[in-house]
């Protein structure tokens, strides 16, 4: 069961050489979620073999161009590829009018239904839930309505030990209940405890996506202990004044948040175009939080199933 | 003196692998003109070493997304790069509202002046003229307000033969007139004919940009004899019905127009994503018009100065 983040674009506001504007795909059990959609997202999907038709929902952090200017083209191409499934798009208010304004009457826009969900970015909310995961928002500080997203895999059912079915002659109708953790009584009334019949499922995995934001410890309670954190790291420490002035973070600030929140690993990204070489980013991050990794266009970060 | 077309994007409505949506840069004497601006144009400029800050004006053929969705990002980046020079954008009506709608109040849009010129696409007009060139529109048939653009280099002044200046003792003040073609009279009243004093300048060069359009012979008078013609060639002949249904051209129709208009060379482009291999496009075009060339992302077509 996959839980995998693909970086489609790792640049900040301006693209730079091989770094395209912000876009990511999160694959949870083959359900694909697009996180932000900077210019060129559909080309990046093609290049990195992400099947755009499989995108189930889109989560936009905020309405700055480098996070949304790839949407009009992507929506058009999905329509040309024959998409009929409705597409849910979650974002701060205002996106729908921006997108619709790009499709003049002569060209009515994509032929499938787009459902826009306007989010209140001042509070954390559960905004999405299905059989395998939940998504909650994380209020961020970027000088504009902006939130991050927290993806939590749901607890999977316990695994039935197959040999026990024949050993005790358990009827199939009782198995779903056992997988949920119930004990089982045989026809003679003897109770077999659940832990003799099943194995615990692997612990659920989690990922927090935090961009764009200045250093803000208020997000720590929301992201505490997540397995993987993407935290924007636009600037090096030497440019901390620029981070402050533009409501962005330095890489050391990102690492500080990762450390305080005791996350499993930190993915860096949203780099300013002023930096060509990103080695200093990695070194600065690891000086504070060793499990830091450079996000780069095309990188894939996999969270393997944990041992139960 | 350059006259050079760089293809930034050669795809039709949907990008395909290494083919980005429509965008081209025309360099005339180091003045750069952007022709259409599909998604990813700024990244293509970076990849193919086109200095985006040098773009003088933008010419948009029509308001379909694959010709304009790169504009918001490009304009943003030009602003971030400190552009102060106003930018002229020529297009059918409606573009200004579409672009402005993308910059919410929180983000007021680029800090330099953008001058939108709304064009009547039903007639051919002279819309631009400076010291080295003119630009005229070419009405196209695409089921939406759409026009092509015809770039004509102006006739350059005649070249003074330097030896003649000392031979006849010609004062400097008379030289500009001689370069314009005037004869010269020496103080004794003897007339020296201009062709003894000067060499003819190279003939002016010309380029017509015709996309998107169905096969339409009415454009022939406008493009007659141009040195280089870009004509969309979305489909192969076997898909002529699709060309007809979508107001596009087949490659053989593009070649037929090139042949009838007796142009110097034909550049193909705007290929449908249904074709991976473009060799058949080239073969079909050359079967009708031998001087046909495949436009592909990164290709540069140079028109050398002609011999006078």
- The per-residue DSSP string of A209-231 comes to EE-S----GGGHHHHTT-SEEEE
Which phi and psi (to 5°) does residue B218 adopt?
-65, -15
Q: Do A69 and B66 touch (CB under 8 A)?
A: no
Exactly one of B36, B66, B227, B297 is catalytic; name it: B66
Residue in A19, A22, A102 to test binding to B, most B beta-carbons within 10 Å? A102
Chain B partners of A43 at a C-beta cutoff of 8 Å? 15, 20, 39-40
Q: Using an 8 Å CB-CB cutoff, list chain B residues near A13.
A: 76-77, 80
**The pair of three-digit structure tokens given for residue A279, joined into one six-digit string:** 């080695």
CB pairs under 8 A between A and B: 108
Q: Is the pLDDT of residue A105 over 90?
A: no
Query: So what's the pLDDT on residue B308?
Result: 66
- DSSP E strands: which ranges in B29-171? 31-37, 55-59, 87-91, 114-118, 126-129, 133-139, 147-153, 159-160
B16/A104 CB distance under 8 A: no
Q: Are B98 and A102 an interchain contact pair (Cβ–Cβ within 8 Å)? A: yes
Q: Which residues of B touch A73 (CB under 8 A)?
A: 15, 21, 38-39, 65-66, 69
Span B3-156+201-302: which CATH code? 3.60.15.10
Going by their DSSP bridges, the two strands A184-185 and A191-192 should be labelled as antiparallel
Q: B99: which chain A residues are within 8 Å (Cβ-Cβ)?
A: none
Interface test with A, best of B52, B67, B77 (most A CBs within 10 A): B77
pTM: 0.92
**pLDDT of the residue at A107:** 67
Enumerate the active-site residues of A.
66
- Cα of A8 to nearest chain B Cα, Å: 14
B69: distance to nearest CA of chain A, Å?
7
pLDDT, averaged across chain A: 96
**Residue A137 in contact with residue A127, Cβ under 8 Å?**
yes
Can you tell me the mean pLDDT for A246-274?
98
Q: What is the pLDDT of residue B241?
A: 98
State the nearest Cα–Cα gap between B40 and chain A, in angstroms.
5
Measured between alpha carbons, how far is B2 from B304 in angstroms, rounded to an integer?
7
Domain extents in chain A:
3-156+205-302, 159-199
Residue ranges of chain B with pLDDT lower than 70? 105-107, 308
Instruction: Quote the percentage of chain A above a pLDDT of 90.
Output: 94
DSSP B248-299: --BHHHHHHHHHHTT-SEEEEE-B-TT-S--HHHHHHHHHH-SSEEE--TT-
Q: What Å distances lie between residue A136 and A127, A152, A213, CA to CA?
A: 6, 8, 17
**The architecture CATH gives domain A3-156+205-302:** 4-Layer Sandwich (3.60)
Chain A contact set for B107 (CB, 8 A): 63-65, 144
| Cα A177–Cα A182–Cα A184 angle in degrees, nearest 5 | 90
Residue-wise pLDDT tens digits, A188-237: 999 999 999 999 999 999 999 999 999 999 999 999 999 999 999 999 99
**Mean pLDDT of the region A32-36:** 98
CA-nearest of B293, B233, B238 to B263 is B293
Q: Contact A144/B107, CB-based, under 8 Å? A: yes
CB pair distance less than 8 Å for B15 and A101:
no
Q: Are B23 and B41 in contact (CB under 8 A)?
A: yes
For residue A143, list chain B residues with Cβ-Cβ distance below 8 A. Answer: 106
Identity of the residue in B15, B77, B104 whose CB atom sits nearest the CB atom of A63: B104
How close, in Å, is residue A43 to chain B by CA atoms? 7
**Opening angle at CA A272, ends A269 and A273, nearest 5:** 120
- Contact across the interface for A101 and B97, Cβ inside 8 Å: yes
Contact A73 B104 (CB under 8 A): no
B16 to A73: CB separation less than 8 angstroms, yes or no: no
CB atoms B16 and A97 under 8 Å: no
For residue B50, which residues of chain A lie inside 8 Å, CB to CB? none
Whole-number pLDDT of residue B106: 58
- The pLDDT-based confidence of A307 (bands split at 50, 70, 90) is confident
């Amino acid at each position: 069961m996959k839980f995998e983040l693909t970086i489609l674009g790792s640049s900040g506001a301006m693209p730079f050489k091989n770094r395209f504007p912000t876009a990511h795909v999160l694959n949870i059990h083959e359900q694909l979620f697009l996180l932000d959609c900077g210019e060129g997202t559909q080309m990046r999907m093609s290049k990195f073999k992400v099947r755009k038709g499989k995108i189930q929902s889109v989560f936009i952090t905020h309405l700055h161009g480098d996070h949304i200017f790839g949407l009009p083209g992507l929506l058009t191409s999905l329509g040309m590829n024959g998409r009929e499934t409705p597409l849910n798009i979650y974002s701060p208010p205002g996106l729908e009018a921006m997108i619709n304004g790009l499709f003049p009457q002569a060209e009515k826009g994509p032929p499938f239904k787009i459902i826009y969900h306007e989010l209140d970015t001042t509070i954390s909310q559960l905004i999405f839930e299905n059989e395998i995961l939940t998504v909650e928002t994380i209020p961020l500080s970027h000088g504009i309505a902006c939130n991050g997203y927290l993806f939590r895999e749901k607890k999977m059912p316990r695994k039935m030990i197959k040999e026990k079915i024949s050993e005790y002659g358990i009827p199939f109708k009782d198995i779903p209940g056992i997988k949920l953790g119930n004990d089982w009584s045989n026809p003679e009334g003897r109770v077999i405890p659940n832990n003799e019949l099943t194995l615990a499922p692997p612990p659920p995995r989690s990922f927090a996506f935090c961009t764009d934001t200045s250093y803000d410890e208020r997000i720590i309670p929301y992201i505490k202990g997540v397995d993987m954190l993407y935290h924007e790291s636009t600037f090096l420490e030497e440019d901390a004044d620029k981070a402050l002035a533009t409501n962005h973070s330095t890489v050391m600030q990102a690492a500080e948040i990762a450390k305080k929140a005791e996350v499993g690993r930190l993915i860096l990204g949203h780099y300013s175009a002023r930096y060509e070489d990103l080695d200093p980013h990695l070194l600065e991050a690891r000086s504070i939080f060793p499990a830091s990794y450079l996000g780069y266009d095309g990188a894939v970060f996999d969270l393997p199933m944990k041992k139960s």
